[in-house]
Structures are given as C-alpha cells and as structure tokens.
Amino acid sequence: MINSFYRAYISEQYKLSKNRQLFWVLLFPVLIIFMADSYILYEATRSEIVGSVPNPWKLLLGRYVFQFFYLIYPILIAIFVYACCDVEYKNNNYKILFTLPVSKAKIFFAKAVFIIVVVLFSVLLAYFFFLLSGFTLSRLVPELGFQNYDYREVIFFTFLRLFITLSAIAMIQLALSLVVRSFIFPMGFSMFMIVFSGIAANKEFSDFIPYTGSIKSLTNIMSENISFERLDYSNLVMAGIFLMLSFYLFKRKGAL
Amino acid sequence: MESIRTNKLCYKIGDKVILDDINLEVPRGSVYGYLGRNGAGKSTTIKLLLGLLTSKHDNIFIQDRSLKSHPTAIHSLTGNLIEAPCFYNKLTVFENLKYLDLIYGQGTERIEEVLELVDLHREKKKQASSLSMGMKQRLGIAMAIYHDPELLILDEPLNGLDPQGIFEMRKLFQSLNEQGKTIFLSSHILSELERVATHIGIIEGGKLIFQGTKRNLLKEVKRTVVLKISSAESATELLTSKDFSVSLDDSNAIRVEIASDQQLNELFKILVLNGIDIYAVESFGADLEQIFMNLISQAND
C-alpha cells in the first residue's frame, strides 16, 4: 500500500540521510568526548591530576564533556532540524511532498520520527563513547581511578534526561523551521535560549524552559542526581505540545 | 468521459478574483493545451487541480473522483510539473527517482526506463544541483512520469529546453498520449502547443474564454485565400456584390477572406460559372498565436 507510514518513513529517511548535518549531529558529541579524553591524557602525563581527583567520572570526564554538551548540543539539534526542513524549501519541494499519494499526517510524522530517532542515536552514541572512554582511561591510566567508581547509573540517567531535553528542543526547532525559511531565526533563537537558560537556570520557572535541560545535565552529572524532576516531565509535555504545533503548521503549509 | 472536470471553480485572494467560474472539461486521452497570459490564472488553476491550493467547494473532479474526498487516490493517478522543476539538490539524478521508488515501489528497472525516456541515463550519477537548466527540466519531467500516471499536469514543461529537447519532449508527450494518458499542459510556446494539443482552453482575466477541440478553434477564425486569376478587377466587382470581403493583391491576383469551407466552395463556383480562370490558390490559415491574440482582445473589448 502506497499511503502507509512505513513507506513515508523509509522515503524520508532515505532523503534526509543524505544531509551532511546528520553526520555532525551524530559524530560531533563523540568528537567532544574524544577531545576530552585527549585532554585528560595530556593532563595525566603532566602528573598534575593523577590521584588528586576523588571521582574522575564526575570531576574529569563528566565535567569536561557536559560543559561542551550544554553549549553545543542544542545548536547541533537546531542545525540538523533546520536542514531537515530546508530540503523542502529548496526548489519549493513542498510541491513534490504535497502531491505524493501519501497523507500529510504520515509525511509529517515520518519526518518527526526520523528527527527523534537521529537524536536518540546521537545520544546513545555519545553515551556508549562516554562509557567506553572511561573504561579505556581506566586501563591506560589506572592512577586516575576510573575503575574505583561505579558511576553507570548516574551516567545512564543523565543521558536519558539529556535525550528528553533534546527531543523537546528538536520539536521547538521543528516548529520554528516550519514557520520561517531563514536559517538565522531558528539558530539565533537557539543561541539566545542557551544564554538565557544559563542565566535563569536557578529560577523556579526555568523548569518550563526546555533549553535549561542542557545546562542541568551538567549539574545532574556533577551532583549525582538521578531522580526525575519537574523539568523532565515538563520537557516530555513540551515535546508533545510542539510536535502537535508543528503538525498543525505543516498541515496549513501550502506550496505556493 | 472527462479526465478533469471542474464545476464553477472560483478562487479569490482577499477581494481579488483570480478564477471566476471555470468549467474545465478535459476529455480522457486528450492533450489539453491551457493558454493564457501571465497572471491570467493558469498556475492557480493547476495548483487547485493538484490540491496545492484549496477550493472552498467540492467542485474539482479528476478521473471521476472528487479531489476533496480522495486526494491521495488522485495523487497516485497524476503526475505533475509546476513552473520550475522540483527535485532534491543533494541527491543524484538516480537517487531522486529512488526516493520516489521507495513510495511507489516500482523497482530499479522503472528508474532506468524513465531515465532512458527523458535521456538522462548518462547523468544518473550526477548530483541534481549540478545539472544544466534543460537537464533539470528533464529530471522534473522524469519525476512527473515516474509512477506511470494516467493524467499528467504540466505547467510550462518546455521551459529551459533547447530545440532538440523540445522536439524530444514533444515526441515523449505524443507517445504517452498514444498510450492513453491524458496530458494537461500550459505553455507559452504556442507553436509547440499547436503541434501537440488536441484540445485547447483559453483563460483570460480568470475566465475561460474558449474551450474545445483545436479544430473547432481554428474553424472559428477567418482565413485569407489568395487567388491568381485571369481577370482580377471583374472578379473583385463580382465577389463584392456577393458579400465577399475582397481586395486586389496585384493586377492578376485577389485576396479574399473566407469564414468556412462552404464559403470557399461558393467562391470557386462563382468564379468558374462567370468564366474566370483560376491559375493558383494560396490559403493562409490563422495560427494559434493569432487566434489567441484575437480572442484575448475580444475578451478585453
């Protein structure tokens, strides 16, 4: 059957997987972890940190990696989501999309599911590389003490909550990219929200700003916080709300 | 039976009327040329037929199905190319068709077949963005015909093609039409439309001012016959007295305006019965461009 979600999904996946931005969103977090590892190794050779850090998962790897994740991940997501919408703006390809014998709902949800799947794979890849780099460092420089701590539970929950945050951010960026064609607006909004969430992170209302989740992933890994909080539930709701808002915008969209 | 039927199709933007009571009747198996000046409402009609713009009423029927009730079924029966060709820049020529194949499931053989048809098989590995303008147009046509649609809706499909390309596309449209496909196309290259179209619709200021077969359209227009005869002056007097519009071309030739085949037959009879010898006959039929201009000026009067 032509008008099926499966066909809509595989065709969207085929088309969108040709975007260079896909590789950035998948590989850049891994690159950050690799660079953090290299820096830790460099520091270790200078013997300044060997034996002096109580929990290297938290105070070395976690701190270095999540300081970058907090700033870079929302921007990577914004670029990737924009690229997924931009392929349709170029040559007015909405004309192809809206004259396919597939309903608009199936096309939209295929696109949204693909975005969420890529975000999931990106976070999963980062999670595995994070664990792998800790275990590798424990073998290469046992003096750092990675092997003395079992931090897997905290790492798992930190990445899980990061995934929820990034899903909400992806849906907000999807709505923005469907409203405006310009690259500047969704990117500028994303950058502004990163700065704003950094300033407002300690305020109560910050739980209702999904972008705060990225800075809180740093505080979560540092404070060993594994409990789900209001921010995480709010982000789940936000992801749903912005998914439906994006669907509404997509349905209203014409190909003029 | 009609492939496309619209019933008092209207479209407004604010207070501005873009289309006013358009009743299209596109017979199945026809090549329907849709003519109109820039801004006459051609592209708006085409976008409404494809569901890219929404009509308030249920007044568009394609292959006897309502567009409002069966949009996806209708989209599976139609192929389209509207204004500039649409394709994905980051994909190669082959990948653009592969994308469609993932939806329609026709197989790689169909991709190769379509690429051969539009003469793009040598460029299949090229990125779509690097193609020349004519090749991009061919890719747009390839994407329109990929799923072997029963109805093709093409807006300016010959844009950007060189004379060889136009010739090949004309052949392609004719061969698709011979296979039973209905082709609805607008083009500003009237000479090409004249060669391909079996039916013509002319739109001006949002109104359909003519619709019918090309033969009927050409019949409606007077043609000029130049006759080389033995006595031009007496023939002029004689024919003028019989209500013909005649003018002297030179000393032994006259120019007569003829409205129908019957009138032409009458003209010959009068001349022969009055002993005037006819040495040569030259007929100048109005072409589509002239007819189009005449109809437009009549509509504006």
Cβ atoms within 10 Å of A245's Cβ, excluding its own: 16
- Contact flag A3-B72 (C-beta cutoff 8 Å): yes
Taking the C-alpha atoms of residue B246 and residue B227, their distance in angstroms, rounded to an integer, is 11
- Contact flag A18-B53 (C-beta cutoff 8 Å): no
- Contact flag A99-B50 (C-beta cutoff 8 Å): yes
Q: Are residues B268 and B184 in the same domain?
A: no
Q: Which residue, B186, B203, B218, sits at the end of a domain? A: B218
- The distance of A77 to chain B (nearest Cα, Å) reads 20
Give residue A31's pLDDT band: very low, low, confident or very high (50, 70, 90): very high
Render pLDDT for A156-209 as a digit per residue (tens, 0 to 9).
999 999 999 999 999 999 999 999 888 899 999 999 999 999 999 889 899 999
Give 10-residue mean pLDDT values along chain B (301 residues): 92 90 94 89 92 91 93 93 89 95 93 92 93 89 93 88 84 89 86 86 90 81 83 87 85 84 87 90 74 76 70
Range of the domain at B176: 2-218
Name which residue leads in pLDDT, A234 or A254: A234
Taking the C-alpha atoms of residue B162 and residue B137, their distance in angstroms, rounded to an integer, is 11
- Contact flag B72-A101 (C-beta cutoff 8 Å): yes
Torsion of CA A216, A217, A222, A226, to 10 degrees: 100
Query: What's residue B220's pLDDT?
Result: 67
With a CB cutoff of 8 Å and minimum separation 6, the contacts of B168 are: B119
Render pLDDT for A106-129 as a digit per residue (tens, 0 to 9).
999 999 999 999 999 999 999 999
Whether residue B258 is contained in a domain is answered as: yes
CATH number at residue B274: 3.30.70.120
List the single residue in B with minimal CA-CA distance to A15: B99
Q: Are residues B257 and B174 in the same domain?
A: no
Q: Are residues B65 and B169 in the same domain?
A: yes
Q: What value of ipTM does the predicted structure carry?
A: 0.86
Taking the C-alpha atoms of residue B54 and residue B36, their distance in angstroms, rounded to an integer, is 21
The owner of tokens 């009423």 is: B57
Contact B280, B227 (CB under 8 A): yes
* Predicted structure pTM score: 0.85
CATH number at residue B176: 3.40.50.300
What is the number of domains present in chain B? 2
Q: Are residues B197 and B235 in the same domain?
A: no
Find chain A residues with C-beta within 8 A of B105's C-beta.
2, 7
Pairing of the two strands B151-155 and B182-186:
parallel
Residue B155: both structure tokens together:
């807006």
Q: Are residues B197 and B253 in the same domain?
A: no
Percent of chain A with pLDDT strictly greater than 90: 73
Q: Which residue, B177, B197, B218, sits at the end of a domain? A: B218
- The distance of B204 to chain A (nearest Cα, Å) reads 21
Q: Are residues B86 and B230 in the same domain?
A: no
Query: What's residue B285's pLDDT?
Result: 65
Render pLDDT for A211-226 as a digit per residue (tens, 0 to 9).
999 999 999 999 998 8
Query: What's residue A194's pLDDT?
Result: 94
Q: Are residues B190 and B239 in the same domain?
A: no
- The distance of A51 to chain B (nearest Cα, Å) reads 51
